[in-house]
Structure formats: structure tokens, C-alpha cells
Structure 1
Amino acid sequence: MDSISTPALLGSAVLIALLSALIMGAFSSKNQMPVDGKTVLITGASEGMGRSAARQLAEKGANVIIVARNVGRLEEALAEVQAAARNPQTQRFHYISADVSQPDYAAPLLAEAIAWNNGNPIDIVWCVAGKSVPDLWLEAPLSSTREQMDLNFWGSAELAHAVLREWCSPDAPVVPEPRHFIFTASVLALFPVIGYGSYNPSKGALKALADTLVQEVEIYPQKVKVHIVYPGSIDSPGLARENKTKPEITQIIEANDPVQTPDAVAASAIQGLEKGQYSITVALLGHVFRWGVLGGGPRNNWFIDTVMSWIVSIVWMFALPDLYGKIRKYAKKNGHPATYKKTNSS
């Protein structure tokens, strides 16, 4: 769903990945986000990446609260997460049914979570809930952009506002280990692709918010860390739904894109969080896209990110002409977009 690949980009990226792997292998640090005995709340956890993340954190000893709309899927997911517990006698698990796209959902959700957690603040909150409905932006109703903004951006922003105000209030304790708030964006926030015009703004807005909040929490005495994860295509029910409306030109551009399993994406994201990374990509192309748009954002590693940003700027000299060449060739062959048939729309 969320990336673009060309032979030139992939060839250069492989060399970059090998170099970065050698360099990064020389650096190691302790776990920056231990979860054993901590309470984690995850939205969008009834399927896909969110469900996998919940299970993997349970395997590491976390108490887990999963959030989604569908109670039946929540019950199935909770059983799976509970079965994965590292310490079944002491770990606790709970689900909350909520529609995160609705205004003012966050306060009651957070209140229920804190009450279940014996009145204690949640230690880690991870917003995964989201969806993509691809289409050409000019051909789609504007309501599609609003709907995806409500879920993908406001669903995370409202919970972030409620949680961070709780963690950073004047009477909130300063605890030895930081609490963590995690946004889930998309590699499309790093490199937009045609066909996602109704989706890209919501994920780009999340990036802008996270880039701001990672600075803002520094002025509070409480220890709070903000992170943002940029997954690409995930083999999940969400991808199957997405493919029903995906324009043909988008499918052409994404033809060689790797599709990761939810388990692989969750594992890579958790690994980045444990390393203390702010901006987390989970696959090769995601790393390339992140290096290409660093700008004034925080670095995970100043040396690696700086060197790779220089290299990727050269990669774009070959990748971008290839991308625009495909789009123009498709337009010349197929005429005005109003005449296109929706692919897999049945």
C-alpha cells in the first residue's frame, strides 16, 4: 500500500542497507522501553499490526488493554493476547470497545483504562487504528478525505491530547522510567504516492504533530517520550479492503513493493522503540524514505542519518524520473481519469 519501488531505487537501497547494517552493528544500548509489568493500551488492536503488537508485548510481560470497535473481534484478539502472556499468573488483560473516529471519545476511554489499571496512569499508549481508501483525489468525494482524517489523524490526536495532559499535569509524578506515546503513520507521510490523496493528508498531519510534540514534552518535568512508526504495506484485512478501490496506476507503481506480515511490522516497530528511536521505519524502502525527508526532525543516529540522507538525495535523481515517467505513460495510454473503471470494486 505505502511505498514505491524502482530498479534504480532498490539497487541503491540495498547498498545503503548493507552499509547501515555494518555501521549500526557497532552500536548497542540497553532496552529503552521495557514493558515487563507495565500497562500498555493499543488502539486498532483487533486485527493486523495492532493485534500483533499486543501479542508480542504480552510475550514480553506487559499488561495489555486492546481497543477497537468490533466486540467479537476484540474477544478473539484478547484470547490470543492472553494466551501469549509471559507471566500468566500476574499479567492482566482487558478490552474496550470504542470508535476512535468520534469526537470526545478519548476522555471516557482513558478513564475506563485508568480505573481498570487500579487508578494508575497507563505506562505506554500506542495508536494504531486507521484505514486507507485509495482513489484519485479529484475523482473521489471530499467526504472520503474528511472520514480518513477523522479516524487516522483525529483518532490519534484526541487520545494524545488526553493522555499527555494526564501524564504532564502539574501534580503528575516524575517517575524513574519514561512513559511512551506512540503514533502510527505510514511511509506515505514520507513519500506520497498517486492514488492516496484522501489518505496522505491524515498521515502527514500525524507526522507534523509528532514532530512538534517530541519537542514540546521536553519542557515538562515528567519523563515522556513520543515516537512515530512508519509502516508500509501490511498483509492484513485492511490491505484487502484497500485493494478494492486502489486505482490501476497505483497498482502499477506498487507492483514490486514488498508486503510484510503484521508480525514482522510489529516486531520491527517494537525493536525500534526498545532502541529509543523517535522515528521508526520497519523495512528497507521506509528507511530510504525517512532518510530522504529528515529536514529538521529528530535523528535516531546523527552520523548514520546524516550520511544516508546525502546518499538518498542522489538516489532520487534516478527514482523520481522513473516514477513520473510511469504516471505520464499511463495517462497518455488511458486518457482522462473520469473514464477509468474502478479496479476490484465489486
Structure 2
Amino acid sequence: MGISWSNQMPVEGKTVLITGASEGMGKSVARQLSEKGANVILVSRNVSRLEAAMAEAKAAARNPKTQRFYFISADVTKPDYAPALVAEAVAWNDNRPIDIVWCVAGMSTPDFWLEVPLSQTRSQMDINFWGAAEMAHAILRVWCAPDAPVVPEPKHLIFTSSVVAFFPIVGYGPYTPAKSALRGLADTLVQEVEAYPQNVKIHVVYPASISSPGYERENKTKPGITKMIEEGDPVQTPDAVATSSIRGLEKGHYAVTTAFFGYILRWSSLGGSPRNNWFVDTIMACLMPLIWIFALPDIFSKIRKYRKAHGHPANYRAKAIEGDDQKVIT
């Protein structure tokens, strides 16, 4: 989580799996990583769009004679979709682990939360949160298994959240909870992977509005007040978002924003929540970053010390059960 001048996520010769890769940001990410020499596995539901996106990524290959490309049609909203998908990807990759997994799949159908069925929030939670969470659970259980190799070069798991996770806006009620939950999961996992001996890096990308087919669909249901609040906010192209995201990842950033607007919202991470006391809360918001300078390194240090003392987390439960058995025997 520090600053480095070297590339912290080189992709040449590596295999990258991208969900939501058939259009918008995901398709741009696939093409740009191909330009950098990556082998790419594209995942989405629509086969015809996947074929077109894969052809575009192939055409952009830095090393066309050696780079490999593959697509898998899958619905990320389905429970337990990810283990089989990961197994298929690993088999295609000559039974070698995937190096980078980037969860881009998502959608937004804005509206007033009270005015639409609750099922709309559930469906957006399924694709925006559970789609990424299922993949994260499956790939991390491969990367961090007790018998998984411990190597210096890290694996990378990348979530795609949204700036609404920093600053909720009226009209995104069915969408914001999923992206906020994804931020919370990532903030937890970035600590949890420290308990494992394997080298795994967690990242979160926070784009704002992207001029994609999804954005066009989004505007069909977006309330007028939401459009009014967003008026003047920059709308980035998928290529610009992909470029900014990759640049941040190569710098080793954990939280990656893709435009200055996103930086501002990340810096003001109290977000748009009302204050209990404007004066006290504002003063404490200024002081808290100074406290976290000392508190966060202490937390991570304790996790690493515990890992060294107790080994792989898979052993924790076994030791606990063994201890309980001994208590029963005595």
C-alpha cells in the first residue's frame, strides 16, 4: 500500500481473467492488457459479444505469436458459478493458477428505492456484489490453499466498485448498497490475505460515469433529480477508465480512482452521510487520518506476527477442534 516507481502489476506473459469483458470497461481492459502482453480469459453471458471482444483483444496483442485468448460464457449472478469457471480457466491455462482476476461485471438501474420493487435491489446485489464475491471466494481458495505455492511475485484480485461507495446520490438506492458492500469486503480481505503465507494483493477500482452501453441503459430509468445533481460531472470513455485503472494498479495502489472527481470523493471518505455535529465531526475527520497513520500499520503488523506464530489459517480450526477434544477427554 506504499508508493513505488516500478511496475507493481506487470502482465506480459501472465494470464488475466476478466468478468464483464464483452462490452464497456471490461472490453477496454481486455484489449489494453492484451496490448501489454497478457494472455486473456474473457467472461460474460453473451457469446456473440464475447467473440467480438476476444477478436478485438487478439488484434491488439503485443506478442501475437505467443499470447493466448479464451472466453467463457457464464452468468455471474448464479450461486456457485465461480468454482467451475475457475477450474475451466485453470485447465485452459495448462493447469497453472490464474495470475490476475479482475471483476468488472456490473450494472446499474437507477430509480427511487421506495418506488421500485425490492427485487430490483436484490438483482443489482446479485450482479454487483455477489458476482464479484463468488469469484473472489473461489479464486482466493485456490491461491491461498494450504498446498498452494509461496512465490515472491503476487497474484492480484481486483474489484470494481463505484464512486457512489464514497458518496451516495439520490436515485442510486437500488445500486449503492451493492457497491458499498463490495468496498467493505475488499477492505476486509486486504487484511485477511495478510494471514496467509501466499503473496496476494487486493485492489478496488472506483470509476464514476462511463459512456458505455450500460450507461445508456442506466439513463432510461435515472430520475431527473439524479441527472440534475450529476450535471457537469465528467463522463469518461471506457478506454479512459481502463487506462487510468491500469495505471493505478501498476503503481501498486489499493484504492484506484479514475478521475480527479473520484480522488476528491475518496479523500472525503466520510462521504455524504449527515454529521451529528458539524464542528466536532469536521475536526475529528481532519484528525483521524493522523491516527490511522499509526493504527493501520499496527493492525497489519499484528496479523503478520500471528501468521508467523500460528501458520496457515487452515490449521486454526483443526487446532481449535483438537483443543476442544482434549478438554472433553480430561
Same fold per superposition (TM over 0.5): yes
Which of 256, 260, 266 lines up with 2:232 in the alignment? 256
Number of the residue aligned with 2:328 = none
- Number of positions where the alignment pairs a residue of Structure 1 with one of Structure 2: 274
Q: What does residue range 1-346 of structure 1 map to in structure 2 within 5 Å?
A: 29-293=5-269, 310=286
Counterparts of 1:274 and 1:294 in 2: how far apart (Å)?
27
Counterparts of 1:310 and 1:123 in 2: how far apart (Å)?
39
Letter in 2 for 1:100: V
Deviation at 1:176, TM superposition (A): 2.0
Letter in 2 for 1:286: G
Deviation at 1:294, TM superposition (A): 7.2
The higher-RCO structure (CA 8 Å, 6+ apart) is 1
1:131-177, Cα deviation, whole Å (9 max, x unpaired): 00000001111000000000100000000000001000000001220
Stretches of 4+ aligned residues off by more than 4 angstroms: none
Deviation at 1:75, TM superposition (A): 0.3
Deviation at 1:119, TM superposition (A): 0.3
Does the residue aligned with 1:225 lie in a helix, a strand or coil?
strand
Does the residue aligned with 2:113 lie in a helix, a strand or coil?
coil
Structure 2 spans left out of the alignment, 5+ residues: 272-284, 290-330
Counterparts of 1:39 and 1:185 in 2: how far apart (Å)?
22
1:290-322, Cα deviation, whole Å (9 max, x unpaired): 011179xxxxxxxxxxxxx859x9xxxxxxxxx
Does the residue aligned with 1:94 lie in a helix, a strand or coil?
strand
Counterparts of 1:173 and 1:292 in 2: how far apart (Å)?
39
Kept after mapping to 1: 8 A contact 2:19/2:104: yes
Structure 1 spans left out of the alignment, 5+ residues: 1-26, 296-308, 314-346
- Give the alignment's TM-score, normalised by structure 1: 0.77
Does the residue aligned with 2:208 lie in a helix, a strand or coil?
coil
Letter in 2 for 1:241: R
Letter in 2 for 1:34: P
Counterparts of 2:87 and 2:195 in 1: how far apart (Å)?
25
Identity in percent: 70
Deviation at 1:79, TM superposition (A): 0.2
Counterparts of 2:270 and 2:23 in 1: how far apart (Å)?
31
CA RMSD of aligned residues (A): 1.7
Counterparts of 1:77 and 1:256 in 2: how far apart (Å)?
31
Counterparts of 1:278 and 1:294 in 2: how far apart (Å)?
18
- Give the alignment's TM-score, normalised by structure 2: 0.81
Letter in 1 for 2:238: P
Deviation at 1:285, TM superposition (A): 1.0
